């Protein structure tokens, strides 16, 4: 470290940022709640979009703080756009192997429009040229074709807690929208677009053994990780373009007099920056006014549940900007209702949304790969022009992507390594809101642009017409909407893929995309809901609030969450997390026996009151008929969990039994003048009086209950429908006979 | 050679074609073709006199469907009848039960699907033969008898099977041109469209075109079968070509008769759907009632199939010479 470099960088920081409100110090983060993150990176980027060549020309000044006690001799950068440079990049080859990447799979990639980024020059601000010191590295897989990570060896190291300022010039060629970023005609969604510095972590930070850069390659199944910073971005586009970006409301707008306009966006306390531009957006701006959206009862309820004072519950106002396709204009209100609902409940549950704006982008037809993605204060959703109300089409994705402001944006785990901490926590939260506010969704399948109610249940793999390749041909679906709750949809993927991988592993190390999704979205939702049912809603709410408060503006790990759970509940729940996070074992409890037999009449030789009596079966008193009922519950899966058994008798009596679920089976027997009707297993609960909930991680719900006497009516009802359906199919086909 | 088997013997008017009003009598004179709507009515009347034929078609259909429905019942019985999830699945299938079943019984359902495909193929072949018997009876104009029915199968079974194979080639070509190739073209055309509604209309226009052409092909093969029976001709290729020419020369009446009867089918289906929406089968009585309604609907479709043949045969008789 030279004193000169340190001086320059600190001076630059002052010049650019005005009065920084953030303190730079050497202390390790404590677990006191933070109002603002520690600012590690400061970007000032000027970028010009050429709508014809789909190129970005950028000049970036980056000030990076070495927030460690180490001497840092090299820097590492993400060059994400290079993932789309050729078919041999790590991203593209993984997408091909998986059969799918983000969005619609590799077949959706436009092989005529590759994407890449060239760093034309890099120099220390007013100092040495580093361009010749740049080299590509592949820390994850050694793939020589992958250029998504770049290393720059510094002529002089950055000292502990020192800063370095760099001037970088780059040209980025956008791909046609495939995965998140790119163009489609005159629509641009510009994300992962600039040379972005990795995260330098000290030994011990997030449990790592040695200090070093955390800068993973771009994988088909992974998202991102970055330090908090400040972004000041000047975007130049044709003057007729409407621009939206992280930061929301432009700080200034300048007509350049050459048909272009430059718009400045500025946002503090975030770890990424994305933007969009298109001349075709309808821009709608509305305000989330907290006092109108959140009632006193809502606040009182949360104060009671969380045990927090009013000022920690109350929400702030947010300006929401919706950039929507003209064809979706009739869904503007649906979008805003979803956004406001999300701002309200995420705010009440986890803490107020700390930014002043939120921008929501609705991508056009042909650019769906850009939809359903989160960036700080900026999300992309998506819908169809034909969106029946009972299909929660813009709502689900909008609430989910907003939720990432909390799980990813504010609690910024490493998405490469522990995707479940953002996607899983967010899916859990999204599902709760959807169920609370919207009720069930409905199954449907798209059929040439029409959502047909139902879900495929018979299909056959036949040669694809006209006999090129093989494909599933739907033979039948229920032609009726089947209501389902969000967790049920997740459960359907979970049971299919639960055994593929343990949940705890890096995103690109799962067997395939289905396993990644199941372990990042579905299983976490179910395991958190299972935990919630066990702990009770209020205690779970305190767990989640505490976790969010502790790690807002920080980078927590799975262990941090487990520690928080144990801390808040006062329990040791490691037995649960060990089973569901570190193994691919499954949970399945089943009621395997429900029977009632008349207690046999006394028969034989008995010694009574010192006398010997011989009893015959036919000299018993009448009206004393007793039954012995047996209910057996078995643990068919490997995972053990406390269960409650709910037993119903013919006289209406209900008995609740509790079992720790550890043995392989447990039998309950009763001798009563009445017979058992049925028995059902539910989740055990901390509070024995709590309602019955299924154990959502159970992979088979049909065997969770059993009747003593079978009831064939449901089977008759659905098989007669099936018969009718086959009759129609045959008759229809015979038309061609 | 028996009398009825002479080649080119034009059969007498079927008894059921006797018109019921003076107006119709005026139009029903040989040599003065009746308008399509009268033929449609006449088709209904003819089907009414051949209820046993419709019964036979319905019974065959039911037996074939039972072959896959019975194993399906056992599957559902196994998974639903002992579980409380059954009660929760009466109105809608419980999502967890349905998904769990699809997941755990995947291989069973796959083999059921495969069985269904084979049964459907067999049913189609059998249906080709059955229509030979049906048309023989309709051509004779007499009441249903198994003797005549099987005589028809023996007499025209060969050409009908050949017609079946020719029709498969025809349907393949129709799909290739108006589904596969056309869709590829539309994909390329609409790839850069912003408008979802525009693309939607485009694909649905294609689907409607495909349906119209498919139904037109079905109709041509109906007339080919009628020609084989009425002209007592074993030459399937030739009769297909002649049927095509017949339809081309009488496009308006053939289409009107075909779509008139098709409309009746659509109304029938709507009526069924209306009835079906009236109640959810949540008790044994209602399940049985639902079953009866479904079977009545299936019977009506068979009856309608007979009406198609009757009306088309009369149209051909009036204009085919
Ligand atoms: Zn997500």
- Establish if A528 belongs to a structural domain: no
Output the CA–CA distances (angstroms, integers) from residue B225 to B53, B127, B161, B244, in the order listed. 17, 12, 10, 12
Q: What is the pLDDT of residues A574-629, one digit of tens each?
A: 999 999 999 999 999 999 999 999 988 788 898 988 899 888 876 655 666 899 99
Give the Cα separation of A523 and A587 in Å (integer). 12
Give the Cα separation of A549 and A554 in Å (integer). 10
Which residues lie below 8 Å from residue A165, measured CB to CB, with a gap of 6+?
A8, A9, A12, A13, A61, A62, A63, A64, A124, A125
Domain boundary residue, one of A229, A252, A280: A280
- Establish if A466 belongs to a structural domain: yes
Which of B97, B207, B284 is opposite residue A713, by nearest beta carbon?
B284
B301: contact with A, CB 8 A cutoff: yes
Residue B297: list chain A partners with CB under 8 A: 724
- Establish if A467 belongs to a structural domain: yes
Q: Is the domain of A268 the same as that of A369?
A: no
CB contact under 8 A, A737 and B207: no
Q: What is the pLDDT of residues A162-183, one digit of tens each?
A: 999 999 999 999 999 988 999 9
Whole-number Å distance, alpha carbon A643 to ligand 1 midpoint, is 32
Q: Is the domain of A467 the same as that of A607?
A: no
Output the CA–CA distances (angstroms, integers) from residue B61 to A5, A578, B260, in the order listed. 88, 56, 24
Q: Can you give the length of chain A in residues?
A: 737
Residue B119: list chain A partners with CB under 8 A: 730
pLDDT of amino acid A2 = 46
Q: Is the domain of A273 the same as that of A290?
A: no
Which of A364, A449, A704 is opposite residue B194, by nearest beta carbon?
A364
Residue B86: list chain A partners with CB under 8 A: 711, 713-715
B79: contact with A, CB 8 A cutoff: yes
CB burial of residue A720 (10 Å; 0-12, 13-18, 19+): buried
Q: What percent of chain A has pLDDT over 90?
A: 76
| Token pair of A254 as six digits | 């300048």
Confidence of residue A20 (pLDDT cuts 50, 70, 90): very low
Do residues A715 and B77 make contact, with C-beta atoms less than 8 angstroms apart?
yes
Q: What is the pLDDT of residues A189-205, one digit of tens each?
A: 999 999 999 999 999 89
Q: Is the domain of A205 the same as that of A100?
A: yes
pLDDT of amino acid A5 = 47
pLDDT of amino acid A474 = 59
**For range A302-310, the mean pLDDT:** 96
Q: Is the domain of A262 the same as that of A328?
A: no
Chain A (245-284) residues lying within 8 Å, Cβ to Cβ, of chain B? 280
Q: Is the domain of A185 the same as that of A293?
A: no
Give the Cα separation of B175 and B190 in Å (integer). 20
B90: contact with A, CB 8 A cutoff: yes
Domain boundary residue, one of A405, A424, A453: A405
Confidence of residue A6 (pLDDT cuts 50, 70, 90): very low
How far does A582 lie from chain B, in Å, by closest CA? Answer: 24
Best mean pLDDT range from A124-128, A133-137, A487-491: A133-137
Can you give the CATH number for the domain in which A393 is found?
1.10.390.10
Question: Is residue A11 over pLDDT 50?
Answer: no
Query: SS3 for A420-466, per residue?
Result: HHHHHHHHHHHHHHHHHHHCCEECEEEECCEEEECCEEEEEEEECCC
CA-nearest of A632, A625, A647, A544 to A589 is A632
How many domains in chain A? Answer: 4
Q: Is the domain of A264 the same as that of A289?
A: no
Q: Spell out a b/e string for B19-57, using b for 16 or more CB atoms within 10 Å of the CB, else e.
A: beeeebeeebeeeebbebebbbbbbbbbbebbeebbebb
Which structural domain, as residue segments, surrounds residue A345?
282-405
> Mean pLDDT for chain B?
86
Give the Cα separation of A173 and A181 in Å (integer). 11
Which of A478, A727, A736 is opposite residue B62, by nearest beta carbon?
A727
How far does A669 lie from chain B, in Å, by closest CA? Answer: 19
Residue A394: list chain B partners with CB under 8 A: none
How far does B6 lie from chain A, in Å, by closest CA? Answer: 27
| Token pair of A709 as six digits | 């006497």
Coil/strand/helix, residue A324: strand
Do residues A132 and A138 make contact, with C-beta atoms less than 8 angstroms apart?
no
Can you give the CATH number for the domain in which A55 is found?
2.60.40.1730
CB contact under 8 A, B103 and A727: no
pLDDT of amino acid A13 = 44
CA-nearest of B245, B249, B251, B265 to B308 is B265
Helix H or strand E encompassing B255: helix B251-278
Q: Is the domain of A382 the same as that of A452?
A: no
Chain A (454-493) residues lying within 8 Å, Cβ to Cβ, of chain B? 455, 457-460, 462, 465-466, 475, 478, 480, 482-485, 488-489, 491-492
- Establish if A533 belongs to a structural domain: no
Q: Is the domain of A113 the same as that of A53?
A: yes
**For range B302-307, the mean pLDDT:** 95
Q: Is the domain of A73 the same as that of A190?
A: yes
Residue A703: list chain B partners with CB under 8 A: 83
Question: Is residue A713 over pLDDT 90?
Answer: yes
Domain boundaries defined on chain B = 13-49+255-321, 62-104
- Establish if A371 belongs to a structural domain: yes
Q: Is the domain of A302 the same as that of A260?
A: no
Residue A365: phi and psi, rounded to 5, are: -55, 140
Do residues A102 and A220 make contact, with C-beta atoms less than 8 angstroms apart?
yes
Q: What is the DSSP letter of A663?
A: S
| Token pair of A105 as six digits | 């799979």
Give the Cα separation of A488 and A696 in Å (integer). 9
**For range A393-401, the mean pLDDT:** 95
- Establish if A475 belongs to a structural domain: yes
How far does A416 lie from chain B, in Å, by closest CA? Answer: 30
Residue B248: phi and psi, rounded to 5, are: -65, -40
**For range B136-165, the mean pLDDT:** 91
- Establish if A644 belongs to a structural domain: yes
Residue A727: list chain B partners with CB under 8 A: 61-62, 65, 294, 298
Q: What is the pLDDT of residues B202-251, one digit of tens each?
A: 989 999 999 999 999 999 999 999 999 998 888 989 999 999 999 999 99
**For range A662-685, the mean pLDDT:** 96
Q: Is the domain of A615 the same as that of A653?
A: yes
Give the Cα separation of A632 and A681 in Å (integer). 10
Give the Cα separation of B19 and B39 in Å (integer). 10
**ipTM for the complex shown:** 0.90
How many beta-carbon pairs under 8 angstroms link A with B?
221
pLDDT of amino acid A21 = 38
A443: contact with B, CB 8 A cutoff: yes
- Establish if A545 belongs to a structural domain: no
B154: contact with A, CB 8 A cutoff: no
* Structure-model confidence comparison of residues A252 and A34, the more confident one: A252
């Amino acid at each position: 470290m030279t004193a000169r470099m340190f001086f320059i960088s600190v001076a630059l920081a002052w010049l650019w940022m005005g009065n920084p409100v953030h303190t730079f110090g050497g202390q390790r983060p404590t677990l006191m709640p933070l109002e603002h993150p520690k600012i590690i990176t400061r970007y000032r980027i000027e970028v010009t979009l050429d709508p014809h060549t789909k190129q970005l020309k950028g000049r970036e000044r980056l000030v990076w703080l070495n927030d460690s006690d180490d001497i840092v001799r090299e820097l590492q950068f993400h060059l994400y756009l290079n993932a789309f440079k050729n078919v041999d990049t790590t991203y593209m080859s993984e997408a091909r192997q998986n059969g799918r990447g983000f969005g619609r799979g590799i077949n959706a990639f436009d092989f005529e429009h590759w994407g890449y980024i060239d760093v034309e020059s890099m120099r220390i601000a007013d100092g040495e040229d580093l361009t010749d010191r740049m080299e590509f590295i592949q820390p994850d897989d050694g793939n020589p074709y992958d250029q998504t990570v770049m290393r720059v060896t510094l002529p002089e190291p950055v000292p502990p807690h020192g800063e370095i300022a760099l001037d970088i010039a780059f040209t980025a060629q956008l791909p046609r929208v495939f995965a998140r970023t790119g163009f489609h005609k005159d629509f641009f969604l510009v994300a992962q677009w600039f040379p972005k510095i990795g995260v330098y972590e000290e030994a011990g930070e997030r449990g790592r053994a040695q200090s070093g850069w955390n800068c993973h390659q771009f994988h088909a199944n992974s998202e991102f990780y970055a330090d908090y910073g400040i972004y000041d971005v000047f975007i130049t586009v044709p003057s007729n373009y409407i621009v939206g970006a992280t930061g929301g409301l432009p700080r200034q707008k300048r007509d350049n007099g050459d048909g272009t306009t430059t718009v400045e966006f500025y946002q503090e306390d975030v770890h990424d920056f994305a933007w969009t531009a298109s001349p075709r957006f309808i821009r709608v701006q509305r305000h989330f006014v907290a006092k109108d959206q959140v009632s006193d009862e809502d606040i009182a309820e949360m104060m009671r549940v969380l045990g927090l004072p009013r000022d920690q519950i109350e929400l702030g106002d947010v300006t929401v900007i919706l950039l929507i396709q003209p064809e979706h204009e009739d869904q503007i209100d649906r979008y805003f209702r979803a956004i406001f609902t999300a701002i309200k409940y995420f705010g009440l549950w986890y803490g107020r949304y700390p930014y002043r704006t939120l921008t929501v982008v609705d991508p056009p037809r042909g650019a769906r790969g850009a939809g359903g993605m989160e960036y700080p204060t900026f999300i992309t959703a998506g819908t169809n022009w034909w969106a029946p109300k009972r299909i929660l089409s813009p709502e689900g994705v909008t609430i989910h992507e907003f939720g990432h402001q909390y799980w990813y944006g504010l609690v910024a785990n490493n998405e490469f390594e522990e995707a479940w901490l953002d996607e899983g926590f967010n899916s859990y939260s999204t599902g709760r809101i959807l169920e609370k506010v919207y009720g069930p969704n409905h199954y449907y399948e798209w059929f040439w642009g029409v959502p047909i109610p139902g879900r495929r249940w018979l299909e056959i793999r036949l040669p694809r017409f006209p006999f090129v390749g093989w494909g599933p041909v739907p033979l039948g679906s229920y032609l009726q909407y089947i209501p389902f709750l969000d967790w049920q949809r997740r459960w359907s993927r979970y049971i299919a893929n639960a055994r593929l991988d343990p949940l705890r592993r890096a995103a690109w190390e799962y067997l395939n995309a289905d396993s990644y999704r199941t372990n990042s979205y579905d299983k976490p939702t179910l395991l958190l809901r299972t935990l919630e049912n066990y702990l009770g809603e209020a205690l779970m709410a305190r767990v989640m609030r505490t976790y969010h408060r502790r790690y807002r503006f920080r980078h927590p790990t799975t262990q941090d969450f487990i520690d928080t759970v144990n801390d808040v509940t006062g329990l040791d729940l490691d037995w649960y997390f060990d089973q569901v996070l570190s193994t691919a074992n499954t949970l399945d409890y089943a009621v395997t026996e429900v029977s009632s037999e008349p207690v046999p009449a006394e028969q034989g030789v008995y010694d009574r009151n010192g006398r010997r009596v011989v009893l015959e079966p036919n000299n018993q008193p009448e009206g004393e008929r007793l039954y012995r009922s047996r209910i057996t519950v078995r643990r068919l899966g490997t995972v053990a969990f406390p269960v409650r058994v709910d037993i119903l008798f013919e006289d209406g009596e209900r008995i609740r039994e509790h079992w720790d679920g550890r043995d392989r089976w447990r039998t309950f027997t009763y001798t009563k003048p009445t017979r058992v009707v049925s028995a059902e297993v539910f989740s055990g609960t901390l509070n024995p009086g709590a309602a019955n909930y299924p154990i959502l991680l159970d992979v088979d719900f049909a065997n969770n209950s059993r009747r003593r006497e079978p009831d064939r009516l449901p089977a008759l009802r659905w098989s007669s429908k099936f018969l009718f359906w086959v009759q129609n199919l045959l008759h229809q086909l015979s038309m061609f006979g | 050679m028996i009398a009825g088997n002479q080649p080119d013997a034009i059969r007498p008017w079927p008894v059921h074609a006797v018109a019921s009003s003076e107006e119709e009598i005026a139009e029903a004179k040989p040599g003065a073709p009746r308008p399509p709507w009268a033929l449609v009515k006449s088709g209904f009347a003819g089907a009414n006199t051949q209820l046993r034929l419709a019964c036979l078609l319905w019974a065959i259909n039911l037996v074939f469907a039972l072959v896959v429905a019975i194993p399906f019942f056992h599957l559902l019985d196994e998974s639903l009848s002992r579980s409380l999830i059954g009660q929760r699945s009466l109105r809608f299938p419980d999502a967890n039960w349905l998904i769990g079943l699809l997941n755990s019984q995947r291989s069973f359902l796959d083999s059921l699907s495969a069985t269904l495909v084979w049964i459907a193929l067999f049913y189609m072949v059998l249906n080709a033969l059955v229509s030979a018997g049906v048309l023989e009876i309709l051509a004779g104009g007499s009441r249903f008898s198994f003797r005549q029915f099987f005589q028809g199968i023996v007499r025209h079974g060969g050409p009908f099977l050949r017609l079946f194979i020719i029709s498969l080639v025809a349907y393949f070509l129709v799909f290739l041109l108006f589904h596969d190739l056309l869709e590829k073209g539309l994909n390329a055309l609409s790839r850069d469209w912003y408008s979802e509604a525009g693309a939607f209309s485009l694909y649905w226009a294609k689907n409607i075109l495909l349906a119209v052409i498919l139904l037109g092909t079905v109709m041509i093969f109906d007339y080919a079968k009628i020609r084989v029976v009425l002209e007592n001709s074993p030459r399937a290729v030739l009769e297909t070509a002649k049927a095509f020419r017949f339809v081309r020369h009488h496009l308006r009446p053939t289409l009107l008769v075909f779509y008139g009867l098709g409309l009746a089918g659509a109304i029938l289906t709507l009526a069924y759907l209306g009835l079906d929406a009236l109640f959810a089968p949540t008790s044994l009585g209602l399940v049985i009632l639902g079953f009866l309604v479904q079977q009545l609907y299936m019977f009506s479709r068979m009856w309608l199939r007979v009406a198609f043949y009757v009306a088309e045969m009369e149209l051909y008789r009036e204009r085919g010479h």
